[in-house]
């Protein structure tokens, strides 16, 4: 299914960018349409492809600079190509990641991505009505936010820009004159709690069949199962006799993981859950945003996570 998905959904990017390129040329703005698949080289993990940075950098640096000398390049986000010449996609908000890849390989001065929000907010405005915009964020904070599930930027976008110290501007396309948010190398003190909600979660709990302690060998087998199915764990908890983990529910991946592990473990699960992550949490924010039965709770110095029923 993932392979077929990538071959089909990628066509939207191809068609849309051809239309834009032809229109700009028609009105006198000189552009060159580029097929991103000729430059962005990936492995064959369809829907979540991983970049082959060495091949990608070589192709971009060899071909793109001369094109940019006297015209604008129009290309696609979100898509790449395997060594077998099949199309791959880079995951949700993958166009941001594509921009970061080109920027890193070309040593760009900065990158701007356009969104339907004023910039980076401390919460999703579709879920909360008291959101606060950040004028500036450090690379580190942005990486943490995307890692925990903030969807405004692709999780892999920040690191290649940080490596080259390239600022990232996140601006609203409806109000292009507004400043938005800049992500850069900076010491920014964050006092506002950041609320990240991931829906469609499943919580899996594994117990040893002989009621022995969970050991390193058990953990090795469990995480091998996650890796084999390409499941990203969003939060986890380990006790003496059990292992619990929350991750995005996809029936095919869940069933495969269940089949891999239930022969060695007692397998229990809960569905229709959500994961709320609060960065820079305090008791006031926890009381405000967390209500109902908590299935799993994890806290560290800067972050609190709660798995709840998604009412």
Which pLDDT score, from 0 to 100, does residue 154 have? 84
Of all residues in the chain, the percent with pLDDT exceeding 90 is 91
Which pLDDT score, from 0 to 100, does residue 177 have? 95
Q: Tens of pLDDT along 103-147?
A: 999 999 999 999 999 999 999 999 999 899 999 999 999 999 999
Q: Could you give all domains of the chain from N- to C-terminal order, each with its CATH number?
A: 2-190 (3.40.1160.10), 195-309 (3.30.2130.10)
Q: What pTM did the predictor assign?
A: 0.88
Which pLDDT score, from 0 to 100, does residue 272 have? 96
Task: Report DSSP letters for 193-255, one per residue.
Answer: -EEEEEEEEEEEEEEETT-PPP-HHHHHHHHHHHHHHTPPEEEEEE-SSEEEEEEE--HHHHH
Q: State the chain's mean pLDDT as an integer.
A: 95
Q: Tens of pLDDT along 194-236?
A: 999 999 999 999 999 888 999 999 999 999 999 999 999 999 9
8 A C-beta contact, residue 46 and residue 3: yes
Which pLDDT score, from 0 to 100, does residue 1 have? 85
* pLDDT score of 254 more than 80: yes
Q: Is 189 helix (H, G, I), strand (E, B) or coil?
A: coil
Which pLDDT score, from 0 to 100, does residue 91 have? 84
Which pLDDT score, from 0 to 100, does residue 44 have? 95
Question: What would the two tokens of residue 232 be?
Answer: 């990203």
* pLDDT score of 152 more than 90: no
């Amino acid at each position: 299914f993932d392979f077929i998905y990538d071959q089909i959904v990628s066509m939207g990017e191809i068609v849309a960018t051809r239309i834009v390129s032809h229109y700009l040329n028609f009105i006198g703005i000189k552009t060159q349409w580029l097929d991103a698949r000729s430059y962005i080289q990936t492995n064959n993990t369809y829907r979540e492809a991983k970049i082959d940075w060495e091949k990608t950098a070589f192709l971009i640096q060899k071909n793109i600079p001369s094109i940019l000398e006297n015209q604008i390049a129009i290309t696609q986000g979100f898509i790449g190509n395997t060594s077998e010449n099949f199309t791959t996609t880079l995951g949700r908000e993958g166009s941001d990641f594509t921009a970061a890849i080109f920027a890193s390989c070309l040593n760009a001065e900065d990158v701007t991505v356009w969104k339907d929000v004023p910039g980076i907010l401390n919460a999703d405005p579709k879920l909360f009505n008291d959101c606060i915009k950040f004028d500036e964020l450090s690379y580190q904070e942005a990486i943490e936010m995307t890692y925990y599930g903030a969807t405004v930027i692709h999780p892999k976008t920040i690191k290649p820009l940080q490596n080259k110290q390239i600022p990232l501007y996140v601006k609203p396309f409806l109000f292009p004159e507004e400043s938005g948010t800049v992500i850069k190398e900076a010491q920014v003190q964050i006092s506002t709690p950041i609320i990240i909600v991931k829906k469609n979660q499943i919580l899996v709990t594994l117990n040893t069949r002989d009621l022995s302690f969970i050991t390193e060998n058990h953990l090795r087998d469990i995480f091998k199962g996650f890796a084999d199915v390409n499941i990203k764990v969003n939060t986890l908890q380990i006790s003496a006799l059990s292992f619990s983990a929350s991750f995005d529910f996809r029936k095919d991946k869940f069933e495969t993981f269940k089949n891999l592990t239930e022969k060695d473990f007692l397998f229990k699960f809960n569905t229709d859950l959500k994961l709320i992550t609060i960065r820079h949490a305090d008791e006031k924010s926890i009381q405000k945003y967390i209500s109902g039965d908590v299935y799993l709770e994890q806290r560290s110095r800067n972050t609190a996570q709660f798995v709840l029923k998604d009412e």
